[in-house]
């Protein structure tokens, strides 16, 4: 197995961050896998047409979505919760051609669905790669970024709460297949055998993405990030159906089920693709009925289910045990 080893200073400095670049890679991986299936989405079809017409983009996407070792210039650790894609692409373009070729060669050794790296030009490799990721971001991620960000922020909020109460060991629970706390100072990153990484005093950065699976590390010494799938992928916004949902109203039922993880009104609006005014009106009704309660964290107001709301959400989703005589 592969371990990330953290001393006390590394643990103290570890934190969460967001990465538009990692989210773009996650979306590219999902769409690229769609193309291998029987029916691709409209976005998948658009990606397929582009890749058919652009050998460089086709080769790069094939490699980065089908290798156990990502080229360093597409796996850049983010700086914080406000990381911008523009800044990540600046760092990508700063990688020299010799460095790019070295890391591409290494990535090809661990690829299972790539056809070599003959597509890569000998000059301006990372400049062209940055252009590919910029286009992918603009076409496939940015239009849906508010909803994606809301999902990732909710995951971070949940894990930060667990961290504050129970420590990193429990904050990692359910993070991803193969990722778990080992011993007193290590995180198992993979069940495969690669060299362990010693995390320095800058700590480990945990970065969620909205894909259904997949984890990877981003390394730019001394910074190291672990990218993992967020709790609640893009497809996980609940559909509220059935008699209880009809009685409560579809949108209010959906909000109640979504609030099994606390959220702000703006996060709910993004997750459910409705206006903030619509969400606020439904929240007021649910609060007056004792279904939800609110609390403040800094400038943000979070809503969560009360005990009554939790039972109602179970009824809506059909997870409440049947009543027996």
DSSP calls for 264-279: -HHHHHHHHT--HHHH
Mean pLDDT by 10 residues, the chain (325 residues): 89 95 97 87 94 96 94 95 97 96 95 88 93 98 94 89 86 85 86 84 95 91 93 60 75 88 88 90 93 86 91 78 43
Residues 36 and 125 in one domain: yes
Q: For residue 219, is it within any domain?
A: yes
- Which of 116, 145, 174 corresponds to the end of one domain? 145
Q: For residue 83, is it within any domain?
A: yes
Residues 152 and 220 in one domain: yes
Q: What is the pLDDT of residue 242?
A: 64
Q: What is the pLDDT of residue 31?
A: 95
Please report, for the domain that includes residue 286, its CATH number. Answer: 1.10.10.10
Q: What is the pLDDT of residue 237?
A: 55
Please enumerate in sequence order all residues whose Cβ is within 8 A of that of 248, keeping only pairs 6 or more positions apart, or say none. 240, 256, 312, 316
* Tokens standing for residue 26: 């996650």
Q: For residue 325, is it within any domain?
A: no
Residues 48 and 162 in one domain: no
Residues 160 and 139 in one domain: no
Q: What is the pLDDT of residue 111?
A: 94
- Which of 85, 111, 145 corresponds to the end of one domain? 145
Q: For residue 322, is it within any domain?
A: no
Please enumerate in sequence order all residues whose Cβ is within 8 A of that of 154, keeping only pairs 6 or more positions apart, or say none. 230, 231, 232, 261, 262, 263, 267
- Which of 114, 145, 176 corresponds to the end of one domain? 145
Residues 118 and 37 in one domain: yes
Residues 222 and 249 in one domain: no
Structural contact between residues 272 and 308, judged by C-beta atoms closer than 8 angstroms: no
Task: Quote the domain boundaries for residue 299.
Answer: 237-317
Residues 129 and 152 in one domain: no
Residues 169 and 242 in one domain: no
Report the number of distinct structural domains present in the chain.
Answer: 3
Q: What is the pLDDT of residue 1?
A: 78
Q: What is the pLDDT of residue 323?
A: 42
Bridge partners of 305?
Answer: 292
Instruction: Look at residues 224, 233, 170 and name the one whose alpha carbon lies nearest to residue 2.
Output: 224
Residues 122 and 177 in one domain: no
Residues 81 and 166 in one domain: no
pLDDT digits (tens, 9 = 90+) for 20-40: 999 999 999 999 999 988 888
pLDDT digits (tens, 9 = 90+) for 68-92: 999 999 999 999 999 999 999 999 9
């Amino acid at each position: 197995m592969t371990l990330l080893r953290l001393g006390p200073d590394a643990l103290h400095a570890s934190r969460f961050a967001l990465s538009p670049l990692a989210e773009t890679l996650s979306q590219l991986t999902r769409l690229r896998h769609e193309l291998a299936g029987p029916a691709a989405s409209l976005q998948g079809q658009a990606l397929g047409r582009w890749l058919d017409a652009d050998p460089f983009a086709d080769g790069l996407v094939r490699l980065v979505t089908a290798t156990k070792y990502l080229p360093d210039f597409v796996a850049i650790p983010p700086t914080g919760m406000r990381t911008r894609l523009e800044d990540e692409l600046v760092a990508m373009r700063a990688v020299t051609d010799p460095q790019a070729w070295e890391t591409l060669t290494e990535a090809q050794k661990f690829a299972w669905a790539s056809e070599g790296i003959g597509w890569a030009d000998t000059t301006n490799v990372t400049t062209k790669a940055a252009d590919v990721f910029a286009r992918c971001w603009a076409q496939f991620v940015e239009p849906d970024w508010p909803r994606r960000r809301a999902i990732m922020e909710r995951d971070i909020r949940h894990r930060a709460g667990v961290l504050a109460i129970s420590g990193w060991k429990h904050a990692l629970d359910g993070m991803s297949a193969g990722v778990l706390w080992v011993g007193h100072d290590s995180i198992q990153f993979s069940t495969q055998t690669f060299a362990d990484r010693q995390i320095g005093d800058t700590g480990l950065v945990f970065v969620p993405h909205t894909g259904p699976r997949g984890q990877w590390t981003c390394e730019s010494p001394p910074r190291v990030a672990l990218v993992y799938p967020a709790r609640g992928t893009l497809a996980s916004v609940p559909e509220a159906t059935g008699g209880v949902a009809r009685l409560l109203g579809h949108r209010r039922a959906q909000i109640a089920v979504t609030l099994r993880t606390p959220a702000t009104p703006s996060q709910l609006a993004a997750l459910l693709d409705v206006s903030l005014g619509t969400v606020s009106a439904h929240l007021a009704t649910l609060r007056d009925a004792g279904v939800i309660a609110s609390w403040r964290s800094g400038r943000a107001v979070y809503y969560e289910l009360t005990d009554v709301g939790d039972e109602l959400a179970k009824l809506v989703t059909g997870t409440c045990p049947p009543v027996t005589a």
